[in-house]
């Protein structure tokens, strides 16, 4: 366990180190989900992990829609597209 999940400003170098140590222990995919909330952070994590986990950022977008289901759905779709673009950036 590295820390508390939830949106944050930066990913931190500890995540990359933990992925390296985890890979050394076995041959399984390693995913990281510690505060990823935007395309830049998703791109950063995608450079060293096999997958990027996002949760709180989606919840925040839905809550920011203040009960407007159409707006919430639009915000979630927008964030998903941004994150996907981030992980697909050439490294």
According to the model, what pLDDT value does residue 3 have? 52
Residue-range domain boundaries for the chain: 13-87
Instruction: Give the global pTM.
Output: 0.76
Q: Which long-range contacts (CB under 8 A, 24 or more apart) does 78-84 make?
A: 79/54, 82/38, 82/39, 82/42, 83/36, 83/38, 83/39, 83/42, 83/52, 83/54
Q: 52-64 pLDDT, tens per residue?
A: 999 999 999 999 9
């Amino acid at each position: 366990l590295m820390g508390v999940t939830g949106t944050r400003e930066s990913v931190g170098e500890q995540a990359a180190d933990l992925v390296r140590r985890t890979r050394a222990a076995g041959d399984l995919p390693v995913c990281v989900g510690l505060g990823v909330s935007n395309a830049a952070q998703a791109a950063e994590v995608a450079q060293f992990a096999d997958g990027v986990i996002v949760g709180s950022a989606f919840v925040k977008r839905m809550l920011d829609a203040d009960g407007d289901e159409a707006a919430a759905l639009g915000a979630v779709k927008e964030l998903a597209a941004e994150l996907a673009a981030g992980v697909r950036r050439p490294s």
